[in-house]
A and B are shown apart, each in its own frame.
Chain A
Amino acid sequence: MNEAEFHESLEANWRRRLSPAEEAKVHAWLAKHPERRAEWEAESGLGHLLDQLPDAPVPSNFTARVLQAARREAARPVPRPFLAELWQRLFPRPAAGVAWAVVMLCLSGLAIQQSRQNAREQRAAGLAALGRAAGLSDPNLLADFDAIRHLPQPDDEELFVVLTHNVATQ
Protein backbone atom coordinates (compact mmCIF):
# COMPACT_ATOMS: atom_id res chain seq x y z
CA MET A 1 0.00 0.00 0.00
CA ASN A 2 1.18 3.52 -0.73
CA GLU A 3 0.00 6.99 0.21
CA ALA A 4 -2.51 7.17 -2.65
CA GLU A 5 -4.02 3.81 -1.74
CA PHE A 6 -4.26 4.88 1.88
CA HIS A 7 -6.24 7.93 0.76
CA GLU A 8 -8.50 5.68 -1.30
CA SER A 9 -9.11 3.56 1.78
CA LEU A 10 -9.92 6.67 3.80
CA GLU A 11 -12.41 7.72 1.13
CA ALA A 12 -13.88 4.23 0.93
CA ASN A 13 -14.76 4.67 4.61
CA TRP A 14 -17.14 7.40 3.56
CA ARG A 15 -19.36 4.86 1.87
CA ARG A 16 -18.85 1.50 3.52
CA ARG A 17 -16.89 -0.56 5.98
CA LEU A 18 -13.72 -2.04 4.61
CA SER A 19 -13.43 -5.77 4.18
CA PRO A 20 -11.11 -7.66 6.58
CA ALA A 21 -8.51 -7.95 3.82
CA GLU A 22 -8.65 -4.22 3.15
CA GLU A 23 -8.40 -3.46 6.87
CA ALA A 24 -5.36 -5.72 7.15
CA LYS A 25 -3.60 -3.87 4.34
CA VAL A 26 -4.33 -0.54 5.98
CA HIS A 27 -3.05 -1.66 9.37
CA ALA A 28 0.09 -3.07 7.81
CA TRP A 29 0.75 0.30 6.20
CA LEU A 30 -0.06 2.15 9.43
CA ALA A 31 2.51 0.02 11.23
CA LYS A 32 5.09 1.75 9.06
CA HIS A 33 3.38 5.15 9.28
CA PRO A 34 2.13 5.47 12.86
CA GLU A 35 1.71 9.24 12.45
CA ARG A 36 -1.32 8.54 10.25
CA ARG A 37 -3.04 6.21 12.70
CA ALA A 38 -5.04 8.93 14.43
CA GLU A 39 -6.39 10.09 11.08
CA TRP A 40 -7.42 6.55 10.22
CA GLU A 41 -9.04 5.89 13.61
CA ALA A 42 -11.08 9.08 13.34
CA GLU A 43 -12.29 8.34 9.84
CA SER A 44 -13.02 4.70 10.55
CA GLY A 45 -14.68 5.51 13.85
CA LEU A 46 -16.95 8.10 12.28
CA GLY A 47 -17.99 5.57 9.69
CA HIS A 48 -19.00 3.17 12.43
CA LEU A 49 -20.92 5.90 14.28
CA LEU A 50 -22.82 6.85 11.14
CA ASP A 51 -23.68 3.20 10.63
CA GLN A 52 -25.52 3.38 13.92
CA LEU A 53 -27.91 6.03 12.69
CA PRO A 54 -31.25 4.29 12.93
CA ASP A 55 -33.75 4.28 10.12
CA ALA A 56 -36.40 6.98 10.37
CA PRO A 57 -39.78 5.72 11.54
CA VAL A 58 -42.10 4.89 8.64
CA PRO A 59 -45.73 4.26 9.58
CA SER A 60 -47.20 0.97 8.47
CA ASN A 61 -49.91 2.71 6.42
CA PHE A 62 -47.46 5.00 4.57
CA THR A 63 -47.83 3.29 1.19
CA ALA A 64 -51.60 3.05 1.52
CA ARG A 65 -51.89 6.77 2.20
CA VAL A 66 -49.65 7.65 -0.74
CA LEU A 67 -51.70 5.45 -3.07
CA GLN A 68 -54.91 7.01 -1.78
CA ALA A 69 -53.58 10.48 -2.53
CA ALA A 70 -52.40 9.36 -5.96
CA ARG A 71 -55.80 7.90 -6.83
CA ARG A 72 -57.47 11.16 -5.79
CA GLU A 73 -55.04 13.03 -8.02
CA ALA A 74 -55.71 10.68 -10.94
CA ALA A 75 -59.48 11.11 -10.55
CA ARG A 76 -59.25 14.90 -10.64
CA PRO A 77 -60.46 16.31 -13.99
CA VAL A 78 -57.66 17.82 -16.04
CA PRO A 79 -58.32 21.56 -16.53
CA ARG A 80 -58.65 22.44 -20.20
CA PRO A 81 -56.92 25.42 -21.77
CA PHE A 82 -58.91 28.67 -21.72
CA LEU A 83 -59.60 28.80 -25.47
CA ALA A 84 -60.72 25.19 -25.56
CA GLU A 85 -63.06 25.87 -22.63
CA LEU A 86 -64.47 28.97 -24.33
CA TRP A 87 -65.03 27.08 -27.56
CA GLN A 88 -66.87 24.33 -25.71
CA ARG A 89 -69.19 26.84 -24.06
CA LEU A 90 -69.97 28.71 -27.30
CA PHE A 91 -70.49 25.56 -29.34
CA PRO A 92 -71.60 22.70 -27.14
CA ARG A 93 -72.30 20.70 -30.32
CA PRO A 94 -69.16 19.96 -32.33
CA ALA A 95 -71.03 20.13 -35.68
CA ALA A 96 -72.12 23.72 -35.02
CA GLY A 97 -68.58 24.72 -34.13
CA VAL A 98 -67.15 23.14 -37.25
CA ALA A 99 -69.80 24.78 -39.47
CA TRP A 100 -69.13 28.14 -37.90
CA ALA A 101 -65.38 27.73 -38.38
CA VAL A 102 -65.86 26.82 -42.06
CA VAL A 103 -68.08 29.85 -42.67
CA MET A 104 -65.54 32.17 -40.98
CA LEU A 105 -62.71 30.69 -43.03
CA CYS A 106 -64.61 31.22 -46.27
CA LEU A 107 -65.53 34.78 -45.37
CA SER A 108 -61.92 35.48 -44.39
CA GLY A 109 -60.70 34.05 -47.67
CA LEU A 110 -63.13 36.18 -49.65
CA ALA A 111 -62.15 39.30 -47.73
CA ILE A 112 -58.45 38.65 -48.34
CA GLN A 113 -59.04 38.01 -52.04
CA GLN A 114 -61.08 41.21 -52.40
CA SER A 115 -58.44 43.20 -50.61
CA ARG A 116 -55.73 41.89 -52.91
CA GLN A 117 -57.85 42.65 -55.97
CA ASN A 118 -58.40 46.20 -54.80
CA ALA A 119 -54.69 46.63 -54.21
CA ARG A 120 -53.86 45.31 -57.68
CA GLU A 121 -56.36 47.67 -59.30
CA GLN A 122 -54.98 50.64 -57.41
CA ARG A 123 -51.42 49.76 -58.35
CA ALA A 124 -52.43 49.36 -62.00
CA ALA A 125 -54.15 52.72 -61.97
CA GLY A 126 -51.15 54.31 -60.38
CA LEU A 127 -48.73 52.79 -62.88
CA ALA A 128 -50.95 53.84 -65.76
CA ALA A 129 -51.02 57.39 -64.46
CA LEU A 130 -47.28 57.29 -63.99
CA GLY A 131 -46.81 56.07 -67.53
CA ARG A 132 -48.99 58.86 -68.90
CA ALA A 133 -47.17 61.41 -66.77
CA ALA A 134 -43.77 60.19 -67.99
CA GLY A 135 -45.00 60.15 -71.61
CA LEU A 136 -43.50 56.73 -72.26
CA SER A 137 -44.61 55.18 -75.53
CA ASP A 138 -41.93 52.61 -76.08
CA PRO A 139 -39.69 51.13 -73.36
CA ASN A 140 -36.91 50.61 -75.93
CA LEU A 141 -36.58 54.37 -76.18
CA LEU A 142 -35.24 54.40 -72.61
CA ALA A 143 -32.19 52.41 -73.77
CA ASP A 144 -31.04 55.36 -75.87
CA PHE A 145 -29.77 58.25 -73.76
CA ASP A 146 -30.15 60.77 -76.58
CA ALA A 147 -33.73 59.69 -77.11
CA ILE A 148 -34.47 60.14 -73.40
CA ARG A 149 -33.23 63.71 -73.58
CA HIS A 150 -35.80 64.47 -76.28
CA LEU A 151 -38.78 62.92 -74.53
CA PRO A 152 -41.42 65.42 -73.43
CA GLN A 153 -40.77 66.46 -69.81
CA PRO A 154 -43.81 65.94 -67.51
CA ASP A 155 -44.93 68.56 -65.15
CA ASP A 156 -43.00 67.97 -61.92
CA GLU A 157 -45.93 68.65 -59.65
CA GLU A 158 -48.22 66.36 -61.62
CA LEU A 159 -45.57 63.63 -61.56
CA PHE A 160 -45.07 64.07 -57.78
CA VAL A 161 -48.82 63.65 -57.14
CA VAL A 162 -48.92 60.48 -59.24
CA LEU A 163 -45.87 58.99 -57.52
CA THR A 164 -47.07 59.70 -53.99
CA HIS A 165 -50.51 58.33 -54.83
CA ASN A 166 -48.90 55.17 -56.19
CA VAL A 167 -46.75 54.70 -53.05
CA ALA A 168 -49.75 55.23 -50.77
CA THR A 169 -51.81 52.57 -52.52
CA GLN A 170 -49.11 49.86 -52.35
Chain B
Amino acid sequence: MGFARLTPTMATCPDPDAALMLRVKDGDFAAFEDLVNKYKQPVMNLVYRTLPDATEAEDLAQHVFLQVFKSAGRYEVSAKFSTWLFTIARNLCLNEIRRRSRHPADSLDEPASEEDDQPRRQPPDLKTFAPPESLLQGELEEKIEEAVASLPENQRTAILLCRGEEHSYEEIAEVLGVSVSATKSLIHRGRETLKQLLKPYLRTGAWKEKQAGNFD
Protein backbone atom coordinates (compact mmCIF):
# COMPACT_ATOMS: atom_id res chain seq x y z
CA MET B 1 0.00 0.00 0.00
CA GLY B 2 1.31 3.42 -0.86
CA PHE B 3 3.69 2.13 -3.53
CA ALA B 4 3.12 3.30 -7.09
CA ARG B 5 3.05 0.47 -9.62
CA LEU B 6 6.23 0.56 -11.67
CA THR B 7 5.45 0.80 -15.34
CA PRO B 8 8.14 -0.85 -17.47
CA THR B 9 9.60 1.38 -20.09
CA MET B 10 10.85 0.18 -23.43
CA ALA B 11 14.38 0.21 -22.06
CA THR B 12 13.61 -1.87 -18.97
CA CYS B 13 11.01 -4.23 -20.47
CA PRO B 14 12.22 -7.83 -20.11
CA ASP B 15 9.87 -9.08 -22.84
CA PRO B 16 11.11 -7.83 -26.25
CA ASP B 17 7.66 -8.25 -27.73
CA ALA B 18 6.17 -6.13 -24.98
CA ALA B 19 8.78 -3.48 -25.79
CA LEU B 20 7.65 -3.58 -29.42
CA MET B 21 4.05 -3.24 -28.30
CA LEU B 22 4.92 -0.16 -26.26
CA ARG B 23 6.33 1.31 -29.46
CA VAL B 24 3.08 0.45 -31.24
CA LYS B 25 1.31 2.32 -28.45
CA ASP B 26 3.36 5.35 -29.48
CA GLY B 27 2.26 4.94 -33.09
CA ASP B 28 5.24 2.98 -34.42
CA PHE B 29 3.98 1.02 -37.45
CA ALA B 30 7.34 -0.67 -38.00
CA ALA B 31 7.12 -2.22 -34.55
CA PHE B 32 3.59 -3.40 -35.32
CA GLU B 33 4.79 -4.95 -38.58
CA ASP B 34 7.50 -6.84 -36.67
CA LEU B 35 4.94 -8.26 -34.28
CA VAL B 36 2.62 -9.32 -37.10
CA ASN B 37 5.44 -11.04 -38.97
CA LYS B 38 6.56 -12.88 -35.85
CA TYR B 39 3.16 -14.10 -34.72
CA LYS B 40 1.11 -14.50 -37.89
CA GLN B 41 2.00 -18.19 -38.20
CA PRO B 42 1.33 -19.19 -34.57
CA VAL B 43 -1.92 -17.22 -34.57
CA MET B 44 -3.03 -18.78 -37.85
CA ASN B 45 -2.14 -22.24 -36.50
CA LEU B 46 -4.51 -21.67 -33.59
CA VAL B 47 -7.28 -19.97 -35.55
CA TYR B 48 -7.13 -22.42 -38.47
CA ARG B 49 -7.85 -25.31 -36.13
CA THR B 50 -10.93 -23.53 -34.84
CA LEU B 51 -12.20 -22.40 -38.25
CA PRO B 52 -10.91 -25.02 -40.67
CA ASP B 53 -11.80 -22.87 -43.68
CA ALA B 54 -8.61 -21.14 -44.78
CA THR B 55 -10.32 -17.93 -45.93
CA GLU B 56 -12.36 -17.52 -42.77
CA ALA B 57 -9.35 -18.35 -40.61
CA GLU B 58 -7.30 -15.74 -42.45
CA ASP B 59 -9.99 -13.10 -41.91
CA LEU B 60 -10.22 -13.89 -38.23
CA ALA B 61 -6.44 -13.93 -37.79
CA GLN B 62 -6.23 -10.50 -39.42
CA HIS B 63 -8.96 -9.34 -37.09
CA VAL B 64 -6.86 -10.55 -34.14
CA PHE B 65 -4.00 -8.27 -35.11
CA LEU B 66 -6.33 -5.39 -35.87
CA GLN B 67 -7.79 -5.79 -32.40
CA VAL B 68 -4.26 -5.74 -30.99
CA PHE B 69 -3.63 -2.48 -32.85
CA LYS B 70 -6.89 -0.91 -31.68
CA SER B 71 -6.13 -1.91 -28.10
CA ALA B 72 -2.59 -0.51 -28.19
CA GLY B 73 -3.62 2.67 -26.39
CA ARG B 74 -4.74 0.64 -23.37
CA TYR B 75 -1.82 -1.82 -23.46
CA GLU B 76 0.12 -2.23 -20.23
CA VAL B 77 2.95 -4.64 -19.56
CA SER B 78 1.19 -6.77 -16.96
CA ALA B 79 1.82 -10.08 -18.70
CA LYS B 80 3.87 -11.53 -21.51
CA PHE B 81 2.81 -10.08 -24.86
CA SER B 82 2.16 -13.50 -26.40
CA THR B 83 -0.18 -14.38 -23.53
CA TRP B 84 -2.19 -11.23 -24.23
CA LEU B 85 -2.15 -11.88 -27.97
CA PHE B 86 -3.38 -15.46 -27.70
CA THR B 87 -6.03 -14.44 -25.19
CA ILE B 88 -7.38 -12.04 -27.82
CA ALA B 89 -7.13 -14.75 -30.49
CA ARG B 90 -8.95 -17.30 -28.37
CA ASN B 91 -11.69 -14.85 -27.39
CA LEU B 92 -12.32 -13.93 -31.01
CA CYS B 93 -12.45 -17.63 -31.90
CA LEU B 94 -14.98 -18.24 -29.13
CA ASN B 95 -17.06 -15.28 -30.31
CA GLU B 96 -17.10 -16.76 -33.80
CA ILE B 97 -18.09 -20.18 -32.48
CA ARG B 98 -20.96 -18.64 -30.52
CA ARG B 99 -22.06 -16.55 -33.49
CA ARG B 100 -22.18 -19.65 -35.66
CA SER B 101 -24.11 -21.60 -33.07
CA ARG B 102 -26.77 -18.84 -33.11
CA HIS B 103 -26.79 -18.61 -36.91
CA PRO B 104 -25.96 -22.07 -38.21
CA ALA B 105 -27.07 -21.13 -41.72
CA ASP B 106 -24.14 -18.71 -41.97
CA SER B 107 -21.63 -21.51 -42.06
CA LEU B 108 -21.48 -24.72 -43.99
CA ASP B 109 -19.64 -26.30 -41.06
CA GLU B 110 -21.49 -27.98 -38.26
CA PRO B 111 -21.94 -25.42 -35.45
CA ALA B 112 -19.58 -25.89 -32.56
CA SER B 113 -20.72 -26.49 -29.05
CA GLU B 114 -20.15 -23.73 -26.51
CA GLU B 115 -19.83 -26.16 -23.62
CA ASP B 116 -16.25 -26.70 -22.65
CA ASP B 117 -16.29 -30.44 -22.17
CA GLN B 118 -18.44 -31.32 -25.14
CA PRO B 119 -16.69 -32.31 -28.36
CA ARG B 120 -16.92 -29.77 -31.14
CA ARG B 121 -17.98 -32.56 -33.46
CA GLN B 122 -18.88 -36.16 -32.88
CA PRO B 123 -15.72 -38.28 -32.95
CA PRO B 124 -15.38 -39.74 -36.42
CA ASP B 125 -16.09 -43.42 -36.95
CA LEU B 126 -12.95 -45.31 -35.97
CA LYS B 127 -13.41 -47.65 -38.93
CA THR B 128 -12.52 -44.76 -41.20
CA PHE B 129 -9.24 -44.47 -39.34
CA ALA B 130 -8.06 -47.94 -40.26
CA PRO B 131 -4.89 -47.22 -42.18
CA PRO B 132 -4.12 -48.94 -45.43
CA GLU B 133 -0.80 -50.65 -45.67
CA SER B 134 0.74 -47.75 -47.50
CA LEU B 135 -0.46 -44.54 -45.95
CA LEU B 136 0.38 -41.33 -47.71
CA GLN B 137 1.77 -38.62 -45.47
CA GLY B 138 -0.97 -36.25 -46.53
CA GLU B 139 -3.65 -38.67 -45.41
CA LEU B 140 -1.97 -39.11 -42.03
CA GLU B 141 -1.84 -35.36 -41.55
CA GLU B 142 -5.49 -35.14 -42.49
CA LYS B 143 -6.44 -37.74 -39.91
CA ILE B 144 -4.44 -35.94 -37.25
CA GLU B 145 -6.14 -32.67 -38.19
CA GLU B 146 -9.57 -34.27 -37.95
CA ALA B 147 -8.79 -35.77 -34.57
CA VAL B 148 -7.52 -32.46 -33.20
CA ALA B 149 -10.51 -30.60 -34.66
CA SER B 150 -12.90 -32.98 -32.92
CA LEU B 151 -11.66 -32.00 -29.47
CA PRO B 152 -13.52 -29.52 -27.27
CA GLU B 153 -12.18 -26.02 -27.85
CA ASN B 154 -10.44 -25.65 -24.49
CA GLN B 155 -8.65 -29.01 -24.76
CA ARG B 156 -7.59 -28.29 -28.33
CA THR B 157 -6.30 -24.82 -27.44
CA ALA B 158 -4.40 -26.17 -24.43
CA ILE B 159 -2.72 -28.89 -26.49
CA LEU B 160 -1.81 -26.54 -29.34
CA LEU B 161 -0.35 -23.89 -27.04
CA CYS B 162 1.47 -26.52 -24.99
CA ARG B 163 3.34 -27.93 -27.95
CA GLY B 164 6.73 -26.34 -28.57
CA GLU B 165 7.45 -24.95 -25.10
CA GLU B 166 6.80 -21.39 -26.22
CA HIS B 167 4.21 -20.93 -23.50
CA SER B 168 4.58 -21.93 -19.89
CA TYR B 169 1.70 -23.69 -18.15
CA GLU B 170 1.01 -20.47 -16.27
CA GLU B 171 0.71 -18.54 -19.55
CA ILE B 172 -1.54 -21.18 -21.09
CA ALA B 173 -3.69 -21.11 -17.95
CA GLU B 174 -3.99 -17.35 -18.28
CA VAL B 175 -5.12 -17.62 -21.91
CA LEU B 176 -7.70 -20.24 -20.98
CA GLY B 177 -8.79 -18.45 -17.83
CA VAL B 178 -8.25 -21.49 -15.62
CA SER B 179 -5.72 -22.71 -13.07
CA VAL B 180 -2.47 -24.48 -13.95
CA SER B 181 -3.80 -27.78 -12.61
CA ALA B 182 -6.96 -27.40 -14.70
CA THR B 183 -4.78 -26.67 -17.73
CA LYS B 184 -2.80 -29.88 -17.24
CA SER B 185 -6.05 -31.75 -16.78
CA LEU B 186 -7.35 -30.38 -20.07
CA ILE B 187 -4.16 -31.39 -21.85
CA HIS B 188 -4.25 -34.86 -20.33
CA ARG B 189 -7.91 -35.46 -21.25
CA GLY B 190 -7.37 -34.13 -24.76
CA ARG B 191 -4.36 -36.35 -25.31
CA GLU B 192 -6.25 -39.40 -24.02
CA THR B 193 -8.97 -38.69 -26.57
CA LEU B 194 -6.43 -38.25 -29.35
CA LYS B 195 -4.73 -41.51 -28.40
CA GLN B 196 -8.06 -43.28 -28.75
CA LEU B 197 -8.88 -41.63 -32.07
CA LEU B 198 -5.42 -42.24 -33.51
CA LYS B 199 -4.83 -45.66 -31.96
CA PRO B 200 -4.58 -47.44 -35.33
CA TYR B 201 -1.80 -45.10 -36.38
CA LEU B 202 -0.03 -45.38 -33.07
CA ARG B 203 -0.30 -49.15 -33.31
CA THR B 204 1.10 -49.32 -36.81
CA GLY B 205 3.78 -46.83 -35.97
CA ALA B 206 3.00 -44.65 -38.96
CA TRP B 207 4.92 -41.84 -37.32
CA LYS B 208 7.96 -44.08 -37.12
CA GLU B 209 7.95 -44.42 -40.89
CA LYS B 210 7.96 -40.64 -41.17
CA GLN B 211 10.66 -40.35 -38.53
CA ALA B 212 12.87 -42.79 -40.37
CA GLY B 213 12.86 -40.43 -43.32
CA ASN B 214 13.99 -37.45 -41.25
CA PHE B 215 17.50 -36.55 -40.31
CA ASP B 216 16.68 -35.26 -36.79
Give me the interface of A with B, judged by CB distance under 8 Å.
Answer: 11, 14-16, 41-43, 45-46, 48-59, 62-63, 65-67, 69-71, 73-74
* Interface of A (DSSP majority class): helix
Give me the interface of B with A, judged by CB distance under 8 Å.
Answer: 27, 29, 32-33, 36-37, 40-41, 44-45, 47-49, 54, 57-58, 61-62, 65-66, 69-70, 137, 140-141, 144-145, 148, 159, 162-165, 184, 187, 191, 194-195, 198, 201-202, 205-208, 210-211
Nearest chain A residue, comparing its CB with the CB of B201: A49
Whether B165 and A43, one on each chain, are in contact in the complex, defined by CB atoms closer than 8 angstroms, is: no
B32, B44, B187, B195: the one within 8 Å of A67 (CB): B32
Distance between Cα atoms of A15 and B62 in the complex (Å): 27
Whether A53 and B144, one on each chain, are in contact in the complex, defined by CB atoms closer than 8 angstroms, is: yes
B175 to chain A, nearest CB (A): 15
B209 to chain A, nearest CB (A): 11
The 8 A-B residue pairs with the shortest CB-CB distance in the complex, in nearest-first order: A56-B48, A48-B207, A56-B44, A45-B202, A70-B69, A66-B65, A15-B165, A63-B36
B40, B191, B194, B198: the one within 8 Å of A58 (CB): B40
Whether A50 and B33, one on each chain, are in contact in the complex, defined by CB atoms closer than 8 angstroms, is: no
Task: Kindly list chain B residues whose C-beta atoms are within 8 Å of the C-beta of A59.
Answer: 58
Whether A52 and B58, one on each chain, are in contact in the complex, defined by CB atoms closer than 8 angstroms, is: no
Whether B29 and A71, one on each chain, are in contact in the complex, defined by CB atoms closer than 8 angstroms, is: yes
B47, B49, B57, B62: the one within 8 Å of A69 (CB): B62
Whether B141 and A54, one on each chain, are in contact in the complex, defined by CB atoms closer than 8 angstroms, is: yes
Q: Indicate the member of A14, A58, A66, A71 with the most B CB atoms within 10 Å.
A: A66
Task: Kindly list chain A residues whose C-beta atoms are within 8 Å of the C-beta of B70.
Answer: 73
Whether A62 and B163, one on each chain, are in contact in the complex, defined by CB atoms closer than 8 angstroms, is: no
Whether B33 and A63, one on each chain, are in contact in the complex, defined by CB atoms closer than 8 angstroms, is: yes
Given A16-B164, A49-B198, A69-B62, 20 more A-B residue pairs with CB atoms under 8 Å apart are: A43-B195, A45-B207, A48-B207, A49-B140, A49-B194, A50-B159, A51-B207, A53-B144, A53-B148, A56-B44, A56-B57, A62-B58, A63-B33, A63-B36, A66-B40, A66-B66, A67-B29, A69-B66, A70-B29, A73-B66
Distance between Cα atoms of A43 and B194 in the complex (Å): 10
Nearest chain A residue, comparing its CB with the CB of B202: A45
B36, B66, B163, B206: the one within 8 Å of A50 (CB): B163
Task: Kindly list chain B residues whose C-beta atoms are within 8 Å of the C-beta of A57.
Answer: 44, 48, 54
B163, B198, B201: the one within 8 Å of A15 (CB): B163
Task: Kindly list chain A residues whose C-beta atoms are within 8 Å of the C-beta of B62.
Answer: 62, 65-66, 69
Could you name 20 residue pairs across A and B whose Cβ atoms are closer than 8 Å? A11-B184, A14-B159, A15-B165, A16-B165, A42-B202, A43-B191, A49-B207, A50-B159, A50-B163, A50-B194, A53-B145, A56-B54, A57-B48, A59-B58, A66-B62, A66-B66, A67-B33, A69-B66, A70-B29, A70-B65
